[in-house]
A and B are shown apart, each in its own frame.
Chain A
């Protein structure tokens, strides 16, 4: 209602008048006026927090507040009808406001860094309300405003004998304030007029039979709060209504701001013990959203004191030795590379280089908060020190960290074992966050002697090629400045932290004080000259649409554009950013039969976007579900199918419609969600999905939705092959297994035929050297495909071209299902699709995330059906000049993030036959009828 920055006398007068009117209306004779002076500060780990400077009330005594900035912010106790005047000074580097959504709705008032302002409101509504800063509240600027009745009566409790007991505030021994934020509880307690921060997931202490009040608040994401072995009346106003109370032990806290308050008698009817409290969303439990309510018997001399959890003011690098257990915070974002962004990354980047790297001592905690993303994610251990999940040496309940189902929230985990931990998202597996748990007794930063990898690789020495290659990949993937710019004349330089590390040799000994930069540069080179750009000599047919998914433009906060290339001239025709919908990570495209509409998924969002192909104009932007990944039509019907990567099915949309009519489940009811990513539709109308969460390839009847088969994918590393993309030939299906470094081959009914191991010529264990890559499978070739992604089969069904994130393109001849050639690719090599080559044959268009060029592969330059002579036919920069038509201005990461790619006309078998005449004209008879 009345929150504003009021500096003028007129406004102050208005506030006084309002106060008087409210007094008269409310009939309360003793309303107080509060003057609360607070600041917004940064706490030690970089999170913003409110700090109480002073609180004076016209009624006298106020609480004894913490002297430091705290999360949650100071709890403000007022009475119904009181007038509250907040004087806030912003000591942070960002704009900060103060709003109480339950009383006022959202307020746009923001204080610039260094500015002070007043916010006034009237406490009209009894209850516990969130206050906070609208823009940054998930990272720390939140607190509780508790508006109690003038008569002091609070929520009733139910006794162990079933009696409903009225409670006055003076009866309460403790009040707990517990914010549910992400997957973490942020707590405070108020005891005898003294307020104390309890930080993260505290152990709340109470004496048996003490009356205590819980204020549960939630912001940003929805939760359900549950406390073991206690029950309480739901706050529904039942007393005034004279109806029976609703007795509950769990309560939803709904998006975006909610609260729930209840009073219990500690241990009533159940006795003493450590009673768990937690969020009851399975994914939130799995990401650490748990704590304990410790009820003790006063007769034993126990004090019932609460125990604070890890603190953002505690020990973290570079202060590893002194203080309470500390906490670092990663924001989960949609920002390319900084998908896990340390909230203090600007302060420590000089040392860490990567915004996604943090350093803590053993016993420190890592906190994740999905504060800047529109997608669902998981927070999943990719690798960890081998001892960390050893039942005798580490904590297998904490590490590896994983969740069954993608979700919105966050995570929190305590890491005790020194070494390197890397976290990823299973849905978006190039999101990386790394934590070094550094033993203060070693000289260098501890990478640990050995690591385990989620795929099932155990005890890998950190001096091995695979370990350092993964580390290098981390620094390439997470540092935007490390991405290749093919338009620059400078060689490609990868920046690494200038630090010493302690790593494990092949014998299991720790080698201390190795300079990390020297190790990586000597193994993987530095200042590499990038290959020259050149156009393919033979033109392509039509257009090539490329999702330059990381390219940033001025008119929107989310990244990603579509770059449209004219295949006849190899010039960029258009850039499409769609600022009007803040298009977020355009990932994959397909088109309708007459090639007039481009269907575009937004992979870090919930939408499918329809774009007019000829003009680039937005047609529709429809909500589909969490994290739509790939889109493809069913050739027989032109029905649009979209894999809902963050959920458990494939959505169908009829041609000409913009509402989905069905979601085909990818698993039986109640089974683990499959989380399908890059599906394909077979010529006989089957939907075939790579099921990333369940390690299989799903074959579904698109007529009935029936699950035909779900054969296992991969086999090199059965623990986590991560099937991610499908290619379908004439009679065979190819699944690319990202973490298995393999292609699984099936017939069209899902019967496994073979597996193509793309890692056969690679030695992961030995330190990098001349024999790291050599012909080990005896085929006379040295080929390697690390982290394969998109893997289409050409329209004739004879050749598979696979983009491998590790920086190679592998070519498989489907007549023998073996790799027959390997071509170089850029870091983050990702997308492939085929388009028609003018005069006959096909090009494979290949994109890379961490560069800004399109690589054009000609798999069969001489048209002899032998693919061992595949070549790179062209390299085309995806950076647009100023003359290229665009709906927005490119501001950074020009042309980078290449992922989905689609050639128009769509010449795949099954689709090419349905092309309208205008598009058929440019194709040869063989291209029009690709399968002979």
Chain B
């Protein structure tokens, strides 16, 4: 009996919840018709090519309640247009169809603007009267888009409620490049349900379109165009959650708890770490080191506290496993595969 325990307990797939949204609830959105898809890709390509074009992102989120005591955001629609709203392209097909934990990753560029409308859709049969919001970090917004309750902001309850949506406006002004968490701030204990599934990230890519990476033990500035994958990894109190984004297509995939991440050998990939909850973490990716932001150092481990964010780019040279080596986190199974294929 003991023999089996050791094997089985460490094989994380055994006790992953079948109901964890990444595993079974999420079905990939139906692809748009071939023509529409080609068209939208072509448009995106054109937009991406003109590095200075600022974009407006009109986004609709639903906040939903799902089995197991979780809540989750669902991407209802994401339209990308010029700042006046013209030339809109629907990029909703980048995202899975259902609610996701983590929530959708919103990828924008320095200079872009976002209008995010949140719908409260916990349970149509018996709507909870709980407030739900989106509070974002890093970017600019005025007090009306803080996503907090009136008792905090002395202005108003900036929440979606069952009968009313709420619209948030963000400006990714110069100086806000980075990867920033967003999360609910108003549910449950009025401090937000970020630890129950209502969280995600905004990637504000820099206007310079570059990133610093380690290559062969030295720091190097490269174009973001060379980066093939974005991995957004959240360090929870007892698990990693994550989103893998194919930068060529923008498509996002969700792998559940401690998701495997995939890369082609010798391509550049970017990790975005965000911690959430109450615990502290020590992130490691054995075999890799990366530039420590704000310094000239390469490091191979990082201590993170809740809501801190941390971004680094590496060249995928070998398979490894990302892991949290703090306290009991590793014992509890906080690690996942980083699979680099030829």
B141 contacts A229, C-beta separation under 8 Å = yes
Contact B176 A247 (CB under 8 A): yes
Complex CA distance for A703 and B7, rounded to whole angstroms: 9
Contact between chains at A644 and B296 (CB < 8 Å): no
User: Which one, B155, B294, B305, contacts A238 given CB within 8 A?
Assistant: B294
- B338 contact set on A, CB distance < 8 A: none
| Per-position 1/0 for B191-221, Cβ under 8 A of A | 1101111000000000000001000000000
Interface range on chain A: under 10, 10 to 19, 20 to 34, or 35 or more?
A: 35 or more
Stretch at the interface among A348-356, A665-673, A879-887: A665-673
B-side contacts of A251, CB under 8 Å: 305, 308
Within 8 A of A (CB), among B238-281: 238-239, 241, 257-258, 277-278, 280
A638 contacts across to B, CB distance below 8 A: 2
Q: Which residues of B contact A252 (CB under 8 A)?
A: 280, 303-305, 308
Contact indicator A648/B294 (Cβ below 8 Å): no
CB nearest to A224 among chain B residues: B305
Q: Which residues of B contact A283 (CB under 8 A)?
A: 278
Taking a contact as CB atoms under 8 Å apart, the answer to whether A402 and B238 are in contact is: no
B307 engages A237 (CB within 8 Å): no
Whether A231 is near chain B, meaning CB under 8 Å from some CB there, is yes
Residues of chain B with a CB closer than 8 A to A454's CB: none
A704 in contact with B178 (CB, 8 Å)? no
> Which residues A656-685 have CB closer than 8 A to chain B?
660-665, 668-673, 685
- Provide the residues of chain A in CB contact with B212, threshold 8 Å: 244
Known contacts A161-B173, A273-B155; decide if A673 and B237 are in contact (CB<8 Å). Answer: yes
Stretch at the interface among A274-282, A510-518, A546-554, A918-926: A274-282
Does A568 sit within 8 A of B, measured CB to CB?
no
Query: Known contacts A222-B280, A274-B153; is A250 also within 8 Å of B309 by CB?
Result: yes
Q: Which of B5, B20, B328 contacts A702 (CB 8 A)?
A: B5
Check B305 against A273 for contact (C-beta < 8 Å).
Answer: no
A243 and B221 CA atoms in complex are apart in Å by: 11
Question: Nearest B residue to A700 by beta-carbon distance?
Answer: B15
Q: Shortest Cβ distance from A913 into chain B, in angstroms?
A: 15
| B140 partner, pick from A243, A269, A648, beta carbons under 8 A | A269
Please indicate the chain B residues that have their CB under 8 angstroms from the CB of A441 in the complex. Answer: none
- Complex interface: chain A residues within 8 A of B6 (CB): 654, 661-662
Asked if B295 and A241 sit within 8 Å, CB to CB, the answer is: yes
Instruction: Give Cα distance in the complex from A43 to B151, angstroms.
Output: 31
A92–B235 Cα gap in the complex (Å)?
44
Q: Does A168 contact B (CB under 8 A)?
A: no
Kindly state the separation between the CA atoms of A665 and B177 in the bound complex, as whole angstroms.
37
CB distance from B172 to the nearest CB of A (A): 10
Other-chain residue from A160, A280, A673 in contact with B305 (beta carbon distance below 8 A): A280
Complex Cα gap A372–B181 (Å): 35
Contacts of B43 in A (CB 8 A): none
What's the minimum C-beta distance from A699 to chain B, rounded to whole angstroms?
A: 13
Within 8 A of A (CB), among B296-334: 296, 303-309, 327-328, 331-333
Interface contact B5-A246, CB-CB below 8 Å? no
Tell me the minimal C-beta distance from B128 to chain A in angstroms.
15
- CB atoms of B5 and A703 under 8 A apart: yes
Task: Say whether B293 faces chain A, with CB atoms less than 8 Å apart.
Answer: yes
A407 near B: Cβ within 8 Å? yes
Q: Does A269 contact B295, Cβ atoms closer than 8 Å?
A: no
Bound together, the chains give a CA A286 to CA B191 distance in angstroms of 7
A200 to B174, alpha carbons, bound, how many Å?
Answer: 35
| Closest residue on chain B to residue A634 by CB atoms | B1
Asked whether A705 and B101 contact (CB < 8 A) given A224-B305, A236-B294, the answer is no
Contact call B1/A685, Cβ cutoff below 8 A: yes
- Name A397's contact: one of B2, B140, B151 (CB within 8 Å): B151
Interface class of chain B by DSSP: loop
Taking the complex as formed, is A707 at the interface, i.e. its CB lies under 8 A from any CB of chain B? yes
Residues of A within 8 Å of B238, CB to CB, are: 648-649, 665, 669-670, 673
Q: Tell me the smallest distance from the CB of A283 to a CB of chain B, in Å.
A: 4
A706 near B14 with CB under 8 A, answer: yes
Q: Are A243 and B5 in contact (CB under 8 A)?
A: no
Is A254 an interface residue, CB under 8 A from the partner?
A: yes
Whole-angstrom CA separation of A260 from B98 in the bound complex? 40
Closest to B206 in A: A244
Contact A282 B331 (CB under 8 A): no
Q: Mark out the residues of chain A between 390 and 439 whose CB falls within 8 Å of any chain B CB in the assembled complex.
A: 397, 402, 404-405, 407
Is A580 an interface position by the 8 A CB rule? no
Contacting pair A625 B327 (CB below 8 A): yes
Q: B141 contacts A671, CB within 8 Å?
A: no
Assess the A663–B332 pair: CB atoms within 8 A. yes
Instruction: Please tell me if the beta carbons of A247 and B177 are within 8 angstroms of each other in the complex.
Output: yes
B60-75 interface code vs A (CB 8 A; 1 in, 0 out): 0000000011100000
Choice from A292, A637, A670 contacting B197 with Cβ under 8 Å? A670
B residues in contact with A292, CB < 8 Å = 152
Task: Name which residue of chain B comes closest to A671, CB basis.
Answer: B69
- Closest B residue by C-beta to A660: B331
Q: Which residues of B contact A158 (CB under 8 A)?
A: 175
Whether, in the assembled complex, B9 has its beta carbon less than 8 Å from a beta carbon of chain A, the answer is yes
* A718 proximal to B (CB < 8 A): no
With most chain B CB atoms within 10 A of its CB, the pick from A160, A233, A670 is A670
Is B162 positioned at the interface, with any CB of A under 8 Å from its CB? no
By a CB distance below 8 angstroms, the chain B residues around A644 are 328
Instruction: Assess whether B15 is in contact with A249, with CB atoms less than 8 Å apart.
Output: no
B180 touches A233 (CB 8 A): no
Asked whether any CB of chain B lies closer than 8 Å to the CB of A162, the reply is yes
- Looking at B44-52, B85-93, B142-150, the stretch in contact with chain A turns out to be B142-150
Q: Is A857 an interface residue (CB 8 A)?
A: no
Whole-angstrom CA separation of A647 from B329 in the bound complex: 11
Please state if A282 and B306 are interface contacts (CB–CB under 8 Å).
yes
Q: Is the CB of B294 within 8 A of A245?
A: yes
Whether A669 touches B189, Cβ cut-off 8 Å, given contacts A163-B175, A229-B141, is no
User: Which of A233, A275, A638, A704 has the most B CB atoms < 10 Å from its CB?
Assistant: A704
Distance of A243 Cα from B293 Cα, bound (Å): 9
Is A226 close to B, CB under 8 A? yes
CB-CB < 8 A to A223: which residues of B? Answer: 305
Chain A residues positioned under 8 Å from B237 (CB to CB): 405, 648, 673
Would you call A651 an interface residue if the criterion is a C-beta within 8 Å of the partner chain's C-beta atoms?
A: yes
Please tell me if the beta carbons of A669 and B236 are within 8 angstroms of each other in the complex: yes
Partner of B20, one of A250, A651, A668, A703: A668
Q: List 30 A-B contacts (CB under 8 A).
A: A161-B173, A228-B146, A231-B176, A233-B294, A243-B296, A247-B175, A251-B308, A252-B305, A270-B142, A271-B143, A272-B143, A273-B153, A282-B277, A283-B278, A290-B191, A405-B237, A634-B2, A636-B1, A647-B328, A662-B10, A663-B331, A669-B20, A669-B258, A670-B70, A670-B101, A670-B238, A670-B257, A671-B69, A685-B1, A705-B14
- 9 nearest CB pairs, A to B: A162-B175, A162-B174, A273-B143, A246-B294, A669-B239, A637-B2, A252-B305, A668-B17, A236-B294
Besides A229-B140, A407-B278, A637-B5, 10 new A-B residue pairs in contact (Cβ under 8 A), listed by A number:
A160-B173, A226-B137, A271-B143, A274-B143, A280-B307, A638-B2, A665-B333, A670-B101, A685-B1, A703-B4
A residues at B contact (CB < 8 Å): 158-163, 222-224, 226, 228-229, 231, 233-234, 236-238, 241, 243-254, 269-276, 280-286, 290, 292, 397, 402, 404-405, 407, 624-625, 634, 636-639, 644, 647-649, 651-652, 654-655, 660-665, 668-673, 685, 702-707
